[in-house]
Amino acid sequence: MHTLVTGGGGFLGRAIVEQLLARGDRVRSFSRGTYPDLSEMGVEVVRGDIQDARIIAQACEGIDCVFHTAAIAGIGGPWQRFYKANTVGTQNVIAACRTHGVPRLVYTSSPSVTFAGHDQEGVNECDALIDLTWLERNGCHYSRSKALGEQAVLAANSEPLVTCALRPHLIWGPGDPHLVPRLIERVRSGRLRRVGDGTNLVDVIFVENAAAAHLQAVDTLTQSNSPVAGKAYFLSQGEPVNCWPWIDDILALANLPAVDKSISLSVALRIGKVCEWVYRIIGTTQEPPMTRFLAWQLASSHWFDISAARRDFGYQPQVSTAEGMQRLGEWLRQQ
């Protein structure tokens, strides 16, 4: 196939690119930044902003399938910043696929699009529904913008353009530029606190498993009357981890001490509300140290039933959590 990966220079996008190349597909990457190493790997690199409909349309010309991973993530900043990149940008990708007759589109969504401030324990795609009103009311700009993007992708599913959405939860592994570095930075600066009683279970997914699921999904989309078309799927390692002991294990790999201070969820929610108000007043795009959404995520259980992904496109985590942690430790020791 001739594939396009938006966000091909990112953490997940790069893993998808590498797996596509390994099996012999032609790959074009679309990103805001420059990535000379991708060019050296044989990737056609296109630089542009996903908000520019003209440029993304050009990038979709001659493409057989699109993996849309590009997004702005984070817990703080103005709504329009997330909306333009994650929602309007996704609408631009859909329009570009239609313009150039791209037959398949896989959208990287997030389980957080279904979060509504309470525990999610073993829920499936039918149980966990998107509540845009709750997300808007509680300032969950990233999740709300991704939810709108997911809805647009699934609504676009049709005979000329078959689509699906994947919801990997807490992607981690060697090369992680997001989760692991933030944990390490917060510990070193003395700003990491356990939120809640520390017993919450969460799903995680190793980056190579998340990438492999994207390839499996797009391959299944090629089938006539594909069971994947028009659907969203949760993805994980298949078994949740205890959030705070798992964080402590990651810190140990970096030779850092375990988290030894904690605050209650109610206190974290109050701090988050104040931080959101202050950062909104000063108009900064920087992330606040706490938000209500982050407090809920750190204190609540959120793990999911992935049997639909197993059934419909054969997803099976190939790298275990234990092996993934070993690889992460090796990478951290090289930093």
Running along the chain, 335 residues long, what does each successive block of 10 average in pLDDT? Answer: 96 98 97 92 96 96 98 90 97 98 98 95 96 94 97 96 97 94 92 94 98 98 95 98 97 95 95 92 85 93 98 97 97 92
CB 276 within 8 A of CB 139: yes
pLDDT score recorded for residue 228: 98
Query: Helix 292-299 and helix 265-282: axis angle, to 10°?
Result: 150
Strand extents, DSSP E, the chain: 2-6, 26-31, 44-47, 65-68, 104-108, 120-123, 162-168, 171-172, 194-195, 201-202, 205-206, 231-235, 241-242, 262-263, 302-304
pLDDT score recorded for residue 287: 84
pLDDT score recorded for residue 261: 93
- Please give the class, per CATH, of domain 2-334: alpha beta
pLDDT score recorded for residue 257: 95
- Tell me the whole-structure pTM to 2 decimals: 0.95
Catalytic: 142?
yes
Distance CA 26, CA 82 (A): 30
pLDDT score recorded for residue 75: 85
Q: Domain spans of the chain?
A: 2-334
- Residue 277, both tokens: 């108000």
CB 92 within 8 A of CB 53: yes
Out of 142, 233, 279, 315, the active site residue is 142
